[in-house]
Structure 1
Amino acid sequence: MPLKRRSIRDRPIGMLSSLKAELSVLIVIATAIAFVLAWQFLKWGWSGWLAMPLTLAVALGITYFFAHGLTSPLRQMRDAAEAMAEGDYTVRVEEAADSRDEVGQLARSFNEMAGELQHADQMRRDMVANVSHELRTPVSALQALVENMADGVVDPTPANLEGILNQTHKLSDLIAFLLDMSRVEAGAASLEVEKFDFGDFLDETIKPLEIADGGHNHDIHLVVPDHVMMEGDPDRLSQLFTNIIANALKHSPDGTAVLVEVHEDPDLGTIVTNVINYGSQIPKEARNDIFRRYVKGVGRTGTGSGGTGLGLSIARWAAGLHGGTVKVVPDDRGANFEISLPKYHIMDD
């Protein structure tokens, strides 16, 4: 909801690119007019006791008129901030948004912040609805299976028990996801650093993804030098690579390949991993947005991916905990996610 808009013509303040310059001009104008009026009043033979109050009143009126253009958008921002504090993220400050001074810059920054908060709030609502639905499904299935066994309708056969186990695994995965989300919101987490073989680690990370891929017939090619050792938290790094590789599988057409290629950069002391899904491309303007929280991509079928929109955000967070980076790099072969991690972990002071 945009607040009342006034053009720059209605705001004498705002035409210059510097607030200091505008205030200086205001002082010069008010002083010059006051001087001219005082001189004119004295020339007419008015008493100084009468000319001085009138001159001051005119100078104050001019100052108030000009200063109103400065304080009005600030009051508007105050009202908008109060509305946002009550949960209304649709408010925008349009007054002064087209001016070139610092107040205009502040108004534009405020509107950008409001837009980000509105987007995050909407995505959070969608995510809560999705998670609630996903939690309800395994809980309902578990309840039905257990009630049927308790009533003697079905027997506790290995198949039925396996069904219960599968539903509990789904619940466990959802709980783990919620914990990851809370850690991301907190912005930090502790690391259990150990030294391990990076190739073996990636191999163990990829195997369950290949199984979960089901009948989509994706081939995951792992290319990694022998005996690449690194220091880090295997659990956090597993989140990183699982989310990146799973994202590549999700956005790849059936029957295509995903390449996981590793090389060392001895000059920087880093291990660089490229995850490439052939044939799929990410527009240049979207390469940073996809790492924002709650932003969902397009799945292999061309529709929404159906995820929570937190996978890539969690991946970047996990990389950042290790002092590393995740980014999309140009590649004619397809979408190329480049993960750069320091080979040796540096403990914080």
Structure 2
Amino acid sequence: MRPIGMFSSLKVELSVLIAISTAIAFIMAWILLKFGWSGWVAMPLTLVVALGITYLFSRGLIAPLRQMRKAAEAMAEGDYTVRVNMATDSNDEIGQLARTFNEMAGELEHANQMRLDMVANVSHELRTPVSALQAMVENMADGVVEPTPANLESILNQTHRLSDLIAFLLDLSRMEAGAASLNIERFNVHDFLDETIEPLEIADAGHAHDIELHVADDIEMEGDQDRLRQLFTNIIANALKHSADGTRVLIECREQADRGLIVTNVVNFGSQIPLADRSNIFRRFVKGKSGPGTESGGTGLGLSIARWAALLHGGTVKVVDDDRGADFEIALPKYHIASDISDTSRSHAHVHAQGD
């Protein structure tokens, strides 16, 4: 019970508490003295009543703090599901603290779940290619299968998958550490995107996707081409992954001179991302749906790394409304502005299910 929790300041609440206790004590002492009570009896009795009222009110004030202490102790033991349910509707500092505490607890619970998911996902992603490689090599060693070009190519594909996963994990560690170095240079955007798309078209040959690139030949920008190639490769690969065979993926790039931005939209036609899911897909190890009831496969890191690479350049990646389909909009500064990379990479917000 917080009888005076409606005020917007704890100082005001304490002042009101003191005023109420003093007023009650004064009125009670006056009444007792008026009815002929001895001052030696009336004053101690009045003091006891005033202290009792103060204790009752103060207990209501600090009850949420006791609950927060118990919740913090539970969280220290690994229980991140606890929440403070007292004073959350109060306007004073304790109410604000209670709401902030619950937000922190929610973030810690999510981070812990992501840690558990990471262990499970990484274990699964590593086990699959390693098991396949082991089986292929053992069969060749036993003479069960011949080292034909097709079999060797299958082994090579599995090693590429392992290499990609290790690269993803290294990028993830850089994200967590907030450490990255950028090699800034000026380059032609059309040539850059064309070079980025080419290996994706080769890898996608069996799905017959048509990648359309619409960008002026004279647009230039500054940035780290390796990091930006990670960004665009992951976004475009995600679009291809969630497009039906034989459909097209549109890449539109334009310069917004008034804002000093290079804006690129990557659209895969047909599919849509629900509004409520548009930030979750950028979380680490969140996998989207490639079809009804199925996951997309992959590591669940691509879009998270893409957003990180954009943030390193002072840019953004988000899903925007588009009647044509899922539309990822990438906005990057045309000219690089030196900044604290560590702070930039740490500043990305949580963002929800067509993931990578």
Residues 287 and 297 of structure 2 are in contact (CA less than 8 Å); yes or no, is this contact kept in structure 1? yes
Q: Number of residue pairs matched?
A: 340
- 1:115-264 mapped onto 2 (5 Å cutoff): 115-151=106-142, 153-264=144-255
Of 319, 324, 338, 2:315 maps to 324
Q: Which runs of 5+ in 1 are unaligned?
A: 1-9
Residues 254 and 263 of structure 2 are in contact (CA less than 8 Å); yes or no, is this contact kept in structure 1? yes
Find the aligned partners of 1:255 and 1:322 in 2 and give their Cα distance. Answer: 34
Residues 165 and 299 of structure 2 are in contact (CA less than 8 Å); yes or no, is this contact kept in structure 1? no
Shift of 1:142: 2.4
Correspondence for 1:277: 268
Calculate the aligned-residue CA RMSD, in Å.
2.4
TM (norm. structure 1) is: 0.88
Is 1:314 matched with 2:305?
A: yes
Q: Which runs of 5+ in 2 are unaligned?
A: 341-356
Which stretch shows the higher mean deviation, 202-211 or 20-29?
20-29
Correspondence for 1:91: 82
Find the aligned partners of 1:289 and 1:19 in 2 and give their Cα distance. Answer: 37
Of 335, 339, 356, 1:344 maps to 335
Find the aligned partners of 1:179 and 1:74 in 2 and give their Cα distance. Answer: 41
- The superposition leaves residues 144-182 of structure 1 with CA deviations (integer Å, 9 ceiling, x where unpaired) of 333444455555444443333222211111101111111
Which stretch shows the higher mean deviation, 15-24 or 235-244?
15-24
- The superposition leaves residues 261-310 of structure 1 with CA deviations (integer Å, 9 ceiling, x where unpaired) of 11111122221111111122222333333323343322245533234433
- 2:223 maps to amino acid: G
Find the aligned partners of 2:216 and 2:184 in 1 and give their Cα distance. Answer: 22
Of 41, 50, 61, 2:52 maps to 61
TM (norm. structure 2) is: 0.86
- 1:199 maps to amino acid: H
Residues 120 and 294 of structure 1 are in contact (CA less than 8 Å); yes or no, is this contact kept in structure 2? no
Find the aligned partners of 2:331 and 2:184 in 1 and give their Cα distance. Answer: 17
Residues 264 and 272 of structure 1 are in contact (CA less than 8 Å); yes or no, is this contact kept in structure 2? yes
Residues 270 and 325 of structure 2 are in contact (CA less than 8 Å); yes or no, is this contact kept in structure 1? yes
- 1:185 maps to amino acid: E
The alpha-carbon distance between structure 1 residues 210 and 127, as it changes in their structure 2 partners (threshold 3 A), is farther
- The superposition leaves residues 213-236 of structure 1 with CA deviations (integer Å, 9 ceiling, x where unpaired) of 353322111111113222211121
Residues 13 and 67 of structure 1 are in contact (CA less than 8 Å); yes or no, is this contact kept in structure 2? no
Which stretch shows the higher mean deviation, 296-305 or 150-159?
150-159
Say which SS state the counterpart of residue 42 (structure 1) adopts. Answer: helix
Find the aligned partners of 1:118 and 1:139 in 2 and give their Cα distance. Answer: 32
Residues 240 and 316 of structure 1 are in contact (CA less than 8 Å); yes or no, is this contact kept in structure 2? yes
Find the aligned partners of 2:306 and 2:81 in 1 and give their Cα distance. Answer: 30
Say which SS state the counterpart of residue 287 (structure 2) adopts. Answer: coil
The alpha-carbon distance between structure 1 residues 183 and 194, as it changes in their structure 2 partners (threshold 3 A), is same
Correspondence for 2:348: none
Correspondence for 2:277: 286
Shift of 1:132: 0.7
